[in-house]
Amino acid sequence: MTPDFTPLKALGVIIEHNAPLWKWTTFQLGGPCPYFFSCSTPEQLEATVKFLVAQKILFILIGGGSNLVISDEGINCAVVRYVSLQPLISHTPNDITVSGSTSLDKLALYAAEHGLEGLNYTSGIPGTVGGAVVGNAGAFGKQVGDVLRSVTLLSSAGIKHEATAQELGFTYRNSRLKETGDIVVSAVFSVRPADRVILLKERDELLKIRWEKHPDLKKYPCAGSFFRNIEPTSKAQRRQATGWFLEQAGGKNLSVGGARIFEEHANIIVKGQDCRASDVYELSQKMAALAKKAFDLDLVREVRFVGKLPGVKESEKNIIW
């Protein structure tokens, strides 16, 4: 029996049945889910999670969908999308409070426009603040965890609690939230007053560098770098670009079905014609095997798969893996 969604609809939550998920990821891949809940405020999110818990409906949460590859057959659980078109942000001279649903780039722009230093390096990274906290997103050697002060979390049982940045156990492109599954409702970042004009100029420069290096998502749907960069070794003492190793090993020529490697960056898989999520998975396996054979490297995936893929055991354990 279909649950009565009237209380959620009254709060402005948009609900779709049999919703195609490809629409909600930057890779534009993914089959349907039975129920899709679009929440744009913390209040809508909290009410939706509590409703799903009370109805015993299994769900996953997504943000901007910029780090995901969703199964071609879709997923057999509800999906909650936590994204707001208008940024939900406030500030003092030393901190910014922002909803997890706000675009990370809009947060960076807000900080620069208000003369607040500390978040400029996140300019141009796709996705939401929530997704960025969970994956400790970063660029130019800095990561979100470096400037995060605290978060308000919602457990998958619908219980709200606060946590400090230290409690989230940030490491490179990782946080404890990937294990706990807690949802980032909102976040507080530490910032410092600085010259607005200098910050905006720096932002323009950073965006220019990104546009030169990263694929235009309208032309090349993708999820950014597929594998994490290589952790510092005793020889190099700094993180090394996985794309460099893959390129040296001839990885730019790899493809499977409609999935191929971006010409400018050997660590990015892009969606070509008739590409399926299973093609992306198989191509990622080929890339990992190539790096192992050529350099004895064990690549660690940054992009997360969602749902079942043909012949893959991992997806039986978790829906997002």
Catalytic residues: 173, 225, 302
The pairing of strands 268-271 and 304-306 is unpaired
Residues 35-64 that bind ligand FAD (CB under 6 A): 61-64
Site membership for ligand FAD, residue 118 (CB under 6 A)? no
Q: Which is nearer to ligand FAD, 4 or 204 (CB)?
A: 204
**Smallest distance, ligand FAD to C-beta of residue 6, A:** 25
**Neighbouring-strand partners of residue 82:** 39
Span from 12-20, 125-133, 164-172, 276-284 in contact with ligand FAD (CB under 6 A): 125-133
Q: Which is nearer to ligand FAD, 132 or 254 (CB)?
A: 132
| d(C-alpha 149, C-alpha 255), whole Å | 42
| d(C-alpha 216, C-alpha 26), whole Å | 11
Tokens of 39: 């929440």
Q: 28 with 59: CB under 8 angstroms?
A: no
Residues 139-168 that bind ligand FAD (CB under 6 A): 139
Site membership for ligand FAD, residue 243 (CB under 6 A)? no
Q: Which is nearer to ligand FAD, 66 or 278 (CB)?
A: 66
Span from 7-15, 65-73, 112-120, 292-300 in contact with ligand FAD (CB under 6 A): 65-73
Contact with ligand FAD (CB under 6 A) among 176, 252, 286, 304: 304
The string of DSSP codes covering 248-262 is HTTGGG-EETTEEE-
Contact with ligand FAD (CB under 6 A) among 108, 134, 148, 270: 134
Distances (CA, A) of 302 to 68, 69, 155: 9, 11, 23
Site membership for ligand FAD, residue 183 (CB under 6 A)? yes
**Smallest distance, ligand FAD to C-beta of residue 162, A:** 14
Q: Which is nearer to ligand FAD, 172 or 196 (CB)?
A: 172
| d(C-alpha 37, C-alpha 218), whole Å | 25
| d(C-alpha 255, C-alpha 314), whole Å | 23
Tokens of 49: 């999670």
**Smallest distance, ligand FAD to C-beta of residue 283, A:** 16
Amino acid in the structure at residue 192: R
Tokens of 303: 């992009």
Amino acid in the structure at residue 237: Q
Q: Quick one: which of 151, 144, 138 has its CA closest to 187?
A: 151
Residue with tokens 């010259």: 195
Number of neighbouring beta carbons within 10 Å of residue 47: 20
**Smallest distance, ligand FAD to C-beta of residue 139, A:** 4
Span from 112-120, 121-129, 164-172, 283-291 in contact with ligand FAD (CB under 6 A): 121-129
Site membership for ligand FAD, residue 68 (CB under 6 A)? yes
**Which residues in this chain contact ligand FAD in the complex, by CB under 6 A?**
26, 61-68, 82, 100, 125-128, 130-132, 134-135, 137-139, 177, 183-184, 214-215, 217, 222-224, 304, 320
